Amino acid sequence: MKKIACLLLSVGMFFAVTFSFMTPVKAETTELGTRLKTSNTFYLYKSSEKTLYINGWGDTPNLSNSSASIPWLEWPSGTIQRVVVSEGITSLGNYLLYNVSAGEVILPSTLKRIGKYALSCNNGMTKWELPFGLETIDNYAFYATSAMTEISLPNSLKTIGMRAFAFCTGLKSVEIPPSVTRIDSYAFHRCINLESVEFTSLTQSVEIGLSAFIDCSLLKSVSIPENALCSAESFGYINSTTKVEGFSLRVFYNSTGYTYALANQIPYTLIDEIQIKCGVEYKDGFDESNLNDAKIYTIIPERTQEYVIYTNGECDTYAELYCNGELIAQNDDIDVSNRGFCISAELVEGQEYTLYVRTVKMAAEYTLMMYPKSITSFDVVSGSITASAADGKVRDGVRVYTLNNDMLDGFVFDVGFEDGSIYRMYYTRYIAGEYVSFVDAQKESPFTCGENTAYLMLGENTADYKFKVEHSYEVETIAPTEDEDGYDLFTCISCGDNYKDNYVATTAFSVTGLCVMDEDNFGRHDYNVPYNNAYITVDGRTYDINDDGTFEIHTFENCWAVIHNNYGGNVTLKIDVSNGSYDYGIVTLEPYDLNKDGVVNAKDYALYYKYNYERLGEDYWRFAENYYLLR
């Protein structure tokens, strides 16, 4: 029915609409495009490129199968030929790109989840490569994506949801990475051209759901991991009553795959050795039942070169490597801090080697790895460390931050080798015979608040990453003054960055007034000419007089204010705020004693004309005759 629905949606679009009418619901538009619901994600369509951009950061919202929810659901066929999802997007919400048959879909390295139906019914893309870091492919995510012939699943994927790849009728092969722990019911139902299913690691723990690979009639053989859990009709069935003709399994003795083969009367052959390959994690371990036994692995190198074979994990292991029955290398503890083993040896292309791994009576798990010997490059693909400034300790005047391996959990590395191969992996302390270590140069180059560039080393190779320091603020409470509100002053203990908050209004009283020019030396002010050639002091505080002569002073209590006149005598005001704030009224100030000698005469006129004429203006001297000028 889902497949029919996809076809109907494609055929049913029989009328043309312009782009301005394609979006039925008006939404917020920014430079990133139109916002998707209330998320921090947006869509932007560029018709000249026939490209739909999904911009922003975080999770795109879950949509529903309707044109009211999906803006582009009913756009004409061929409108979207390319989709670009920007870095920073972490999830494709349900139905986001449902029935979008773009020939190219670019997904970001930040992607963690592909939601229900998010990429289903795409009939344009043939080869899909999903980014490392993706953890969840949800139910129906790629349902009926019939043009898909190849899918590359990353070694970060954990869950393949119910019917996630059902009716992907063009899919020919799939490789399940060792990180996958769950393949849900009907995940690959009716993938009628699927010929190959390979579990990358035959030691991985994976739960295979009901009818996960049902009706895959061309799938004739599968090797089931030793620690896999098989459900009813997981493999080898067309339907619940009809089996795939010629189907067989390769299983480990006494494993659930072995039990599944017996219960369903499916032909099988036993796997007694695990062949290991470069760059694949083989999770294994010992328990009380096999402490005295050896785990047996085979190696058939694809090229002649030196390899390093080792284990990570809690289990105390040691190993012996044989070729044609001859011991060629062995190792116990890597060092006093690492009880795993590490063997370095030159192996010949096509030659078969046998590796025996044992434990010193320790029931625990380990991960077996193999890589080429020589590391030539080391890069941090993603990962950063964030600390608070308070986490740093001041030593010899420098704020220093403690660096430890736990901070690197979740980092993703690209490690390159001499043979040209590059492997992407999550952080582990020990990689290919070398330890990941911090380059701590804080004394010479201290970390500052904000984003800093820091470095890691793997062998002789260096990689940079971001060390972010967030401000840590100390608070100081500033009490209100006569002129300013009180507040809390927050100051970063590291960089001094500061801001104010939690304001408390001042309770000071306000007294206003107007200073005007004294027109006759007796306080006359018929014209009320504003006078601002003065300033006011109150209890040591200074207030300016505005250009229009107005002033405002503040006080908590009764006081005296002094108006300091630049061109005449000072005036003292008695300020009484017993009844609160008020307007003092007009204050006249004598304007013409420019040399402050107590009289107005020719000297003052000379000073005015020579030094102050342009600043004070021609009209300034108009009342001077009332002061008996030049008498």
Asked if residue 166 lies in contact with residue 188, where contact means CB atoms within 8 angstroms, the answer is: yes
Q: Which strands sit side by side in the sheet containing 384-388, from one edge to the other?
A: 384-388, 461-470, 450-458, 434-439, 430-431
Identify the pLDDT of residue 525. Answer: 96
> Rounded to an integer, what distance in angstroms lies between the CA atom of residue 52 and that of residue 33?
10
Identify the pLDDT of residue 7. Answer: 43
Region 295-305 average pLDDT: 95
Q: Tell me the per-residue pLDDT of 191-226, one tens digit each, with 9 for 90 and over.
A: 999 999 999 999 999 999 999 999 999 999 999 999
Phi-psi region of 196 (alpha: psi -120 to 50; beta: other; left: phi over 0): beta
Identify the pLDDT of residue 26. Answer: 57
> Rounded to an integer, what distance in angstroms lies between the CA atom of residue 545 and that of residue 240?
96
Q: Tell me the per-residue pLDDT of 406-451, one tens digit each, with 9 for 90 and over.
A: 999 999 999 999 999 999 999 999 999 999 999 999 999 999 999 9
**Sign, CA torsion 539/544/546/549:** positive
3-class secondary-structure state, position 296: strand
As beta bridge partners, residue 52 has 45, 83
Identify the pLDDT of residue 22. Answer: 43
Mean pLDDT of the chain: 93
Asked if residue 424 lies in contact with residue 412, where contact means CB atoms within 8 angstroms, the answer is: yes
**592: number of Cβ within 10 Å:** 23
As beta bridge partners, residue 375 has 417
> Rounded to an integer, what distance in angstroms lies between the CA atom of residue 52 and that of residue 74?
14
Identify the pLDDT of residue 273. Answer: 86
Closest CA to 461 of 442, 439, 492: 439
Identify the pLDDT of residue 627. Answer: 83
Region 557-564 average pLDDT: 98
- Tokens encoding 80: 């979207």
**325: number of Cβ within 10 Å:** 6
Identify the pLDDT of residue 521. Answer: 86
Q: What percent of the chain has pLDDT over 70?
A: 95
Phi-psi region of 485 (alpha: psi -120 to 50; beta: other; left: phi over 0): beta
Region 115-125 average pLDDT: 96
Identify the pLDDT of residue 272. Answer: 86
Q: What percent of the chain has pLDDT over 90?
A: 92
By DSSP bridging, strand 173-176 and strand 196-199 are: parallel
Would you say residue 267 has pLDDT above 60? yes
Asked if residue 138 lies in contact with residue 118, where contact means CB atoms within 8 angstroms, the answer is: yes
Identify the pLDDT of residue 204. Answer: 94
Identify the pLDDT of residue 535. Answer: 98
Identify the pLDDT of residue 278. Answer: 95
**44: number of Cβ within 10 Å:** 17
Q: DSSP string covering 572-601, please?
A: EEEE--TT--EEEEEEEE----TT-SSS-S
Asked if residue 102 lies in contact with residue 122, where contact means CB atoms within 8 angstroms, the answer is: yes
Displacement of CA 371 from its chain's centroid (Å): 30
Identify the pLDDT of residue 18. Answer: 37
> Rounded to an integer, what distance in angstroms lies between the CA atom of residue 210 and that of residue 72?
35
Region 69-94 average pLDDT: 96
Identify the pLDDT of residue 212. Answer: 98
Give me the residue label for tokens 């859990």. 229
Beta strands in 348-421 (DSSP E): 353-359, 365-372, 375-382, 384-388, 393-395, 398-400, 412-417
Mapped to the 3 state alphabet, what secondary structure does 16-75 carry?
A: CCCHHHCCCCCCCEECCEEECCCCCEEEEEECCCCEEEEEECEECCCCCCCCCCCCCCCC
Q: Tell me the per-residue pLDDT of 11-35, one tens digit each, with 9 for 90 and over.
A: 343 333 333 334 444 568 889 999 9
Which residues are CB-contacts of 77 (< 8 A; sequence separation ≥ 6)? 10, 13, 101
Q: Which helix (H) or strand (E) holds 269?
A: strand 268-270
DSSP state of 612: I
> Rounded to an integer, what distance in angstroms lies between the CA atom of residue 107 and that of residue 84?
7
pLDDT tier, 365 (very low <50, low <70, confident <90, very high otherwise): very high
Asked if residue 553 lies in contact with residue 483, where contact means CB atoms within 8 angstroms, the answer is: no
> Rounded to an integer, what distance in angstroms lies between the CA atom of residue 151 and that of residue 170?
11
> Rounded to an integer, what distance in angstroms lies between the CA atom of residue 76 and that of residue 69?
17
pTM of the model: 0.80
Region 105-117 average pLDDT: 97
pLDDT tier, 629 (very low <50, low <70, confident <90, very high otherwise): low
